[in-house]
Amino acid sequence: MNSLRCIVLGLSAWLATVFCGVGAPVGLEELHRLDRLPVFKTAVKIGAVSSYDRTGGNDDGFSGKYSFVRKDPEGLVLADLKGPGVIYRVWTPTPTDDVMEFLFDGESKPRVEVKFCDLFLGQHPAFPRPLVGFGVGGYYCYVPMPFAKSCLVRMRAPKVQFYQINYALYGPETSVATFDPQPTAADLSHRDKACALFSRAGMDISSFIAPPNAKVQLSRSTVAIPPGSTQRVFATETGGRLVGLRFSPASVMAGKARDLLLKITFDGEEPAVLCPLGDFFGYAWGQPAMQSLLVGTTGETNYCYFPMPFDRSAVVEVVSERAAAAELRAEVLHAAVPRAADEGQFYALWRRENPTKPGEPFTFIETAGRGHLVGVVLQSQGLESGKTLFFEGDDQTTIDGELVIHGTGSEDFFNGGWYDVPDRWEKRLSFPLSGCLGYLKHLGRTGAYRLFLGDAYSFRQNLRQTIEHSGEKNDIPTDYCAVSYLYSERRPTANLTPPPLEARRVVDPREVGFPMWWQTPLHAWSFGNASLTRKKERVGKEDVQFLSLRGAGHDWFGPHFLSPTCDVPAAGRYSIYIEAVKGPAQARVQLFQNENPVAEAVDLFAETPAKSGRVLLGQLDLAEGKNNLMLKLVGKNEKSSALGLDLISVICVKEQ
């Protein structure tokens, strides 16, 4: 029997080699040969050069103090790499019109000269979209730039701010053709295929996942899942690979309990994937949020196109810990091409720290062995409404015992920049390899994802991937949970089992504050005889920012009013408070609903300006999501000189 098994495994390995080829691709080919994503990388070193603060502080590019390797007479050297190697990623949130130069293999004259901003805009023929792009405040370039001997990156500018350059170095035996802005026919073919693939995020890309000439089979099932049960959606006793998973409807998998689990088992071993089902597909706080190239949600369908090779068997199951029954439709695409000797097995790890550990960064994954990290998804929940300063933290990657990558800020790691700034990192937005899961400052929430192809973090002995939760010292407690996707030669030493149900649930903040002087949306305000202004004034011993409403007489339809939109995370009864500036020109304010007062009016008159502290206006039953409140100026104190409301914030507190 053992000899027969050896023959079968040997034949399987031979078939996998015939279908998949030999060795991992290097350069442009890596961007479209996703069937080769499980293949172990041949790089001898993974690294990055960035503008991070070498003192451990938070000056990661603001001043430009650390934004170069050295100063040359010709400009600032951003990287000086010795090859053979490949630059796989260039990122910045601060592109300029300054000229960026790439000098390869000891050349005295730059082979590539491009305006820093044009590297990302798709206007240079060597750097086409969608391999380059921008959004959520960041600019990225994923065009691989190989070099046989060396690559020097230089900026002709007196100052550079934030940047990151990711690279891989290879052994001297690796043949690497140096980047040429005038591509060969073969390079053009690879580039065109990569561009076509990158344009298909959210679509069926299984043709890029299956090995060439492999026959892809589709297994469909509709599965009724009773409470507390485990239901099988796919199983095979033949070696092969999964090349696509699709589950629907996405709304059935939504919810804050995280009470449905995806379980994938290969070759009769312990589960390689045991992860909250929605989170595996990039859900954030219980709702679909991601549409990347390899995993996410489109419409009512969740999809995953990570290739998952196995030797002998595979089982895909859904585990329910719900109190109610569920029904799902599943599609599994698979090919009868077993795992090759140079391929790792796919694993997914769900981790949560709630709260994070004081003085220590959050750990995505820490494991021993050989493999490569190909993606991470992070959900970040602050413990204080209206504050997201925890996202100042840097990512750090330690490979084989050496810190090789040190980032410049949390949103930077995910190809973004400038969180909490209008038209930058302020909304949910997906790109092929990265994106923002959402930014909800009033809930203290943000999150993001990043996938790795050519820039995969390969390791031979061990890997530790972390991210800080504050600008310095990891001193802001947070609720972080993440999914890490990787390929590994053996089962990771990290614990792949998620915590019990009660420790997985999304925790909504009970108290939600809306700073009216910042980005809180307004549904409406007085139609006539009024002005609305953002102001910053000295009140007592501090500078106070507020939204100032001033009215004269009456509005067209009665008393002057202000209607802010308050987005709450859960339905329920809420106490509605305001914080305002009391003073000699302030009115009486009253909370209304359906044109009727909710409680007595509050008089904000004071002889001298002072912060009011929290003032209760009344209680309302609010729906989950956006609610338009109605604050009316129903008169003024006889001593008041004007009809005004200087509103600092609205606070909604959910009753127990």
CATH number (domain holding residue 55): 2.60.120.1390
> Is 280 within 8 Å of 348 (Cβ atoms)?
yes
Residue 622 lies in a domain: yes
pLDDT above 50: residue 2: no
Task: Report the pLDDT value the prediction gives residue 16, as an integer from 0 to 100.
Answer: 40
Q: What is the mean pLDDT of residues 171-185?
A: 93
> Is 606 within 8 Å of 582 (Cβ atoms)?
yes
Residue 342 lies in a domain: no
> Is 92 within 8 Å of 163 (Cβ atoms)?
yes
| CA dihedral over 471, 474, 480, 485, signed as positive or negative | positive
Residue 410 lies in a domain: no
Confidence of residue 578 (pLDDT cuts 50, 70, 90): very high
pLDDT one-digit tens code per residue, 581-598: 999 999 999 999 999 999
pLDDT above 50: residue 181: yes
pLDDT one-digit tens code per residue, 624-655: 999 999 999 999 999 999 999 999 999 999 99
Task: Report the pLDDT value the prediction gives residue 147, as an integer from 0 to 100.
Answer: 97
pLDDT above 70: residue 8: no
Choosing from 169, 198, 227, the residue where a domain stops is 198
- Total Cβ atoms within 10 A of residue 217: 14
Residue 219 lies in a domain: no
pLDDT above 60: residue 301: yes
Residue 304 lies in a domain: no
Residue 581 lies in a domain: yes
- CATH classification of the domain holding 536: 2.60.120.260
pLDDT one-digit tens code per residue, 521-560: 899 999 999 999 999 999 999 999 999 999 999 999 999 9
Residue 84 lies in a domain: yes
Q: Among residues 152, 145, 159, which one has the least CA distance to residue 30?
A: 145
Instruction: Find the radius of gyration of the CA atoms of the chain.
Output: 28
Q: What is the mean pLDDT of the chain?
A: 95
Task: Report the pLDDT value the prediction gives residue 26, as an integer from 0 to 100.
Answer: 85
Task: Report the pLDDT value the prediction gives residue 21, as an integer from 0 to 100.
Answer: 42
Confidence of residue 20 (pLDDT cuts 50, 70, 90): very low
Task: Report the pLDDT value the prediction gives residue 260, as an integer from 0 to 100.
Answer: 98
Confidence of residue 519 (pLDDT cuts 50, 70, 90): confident
Choosing from 154, 183, 198, the residue where a domain stops is 198
Residue 641 lies in a domain: yes
* Owning domain of residue 526: 513-654
**pTM reported for the whole predicted model:** 0.94
Task: Report the pLDDT value the prediction gives residue 606, as an integer from 0 to 100.
Answer: 97
Q: Which residues contact 11 (CB under 8 A, 6 or more apart)?
A: none
Instruction: Domain count for the chain, please give it.
Output: 2
pLDDT above 90: residue 18: no
Choosing from 198, 227, 257, the residue where a domain stops is 198
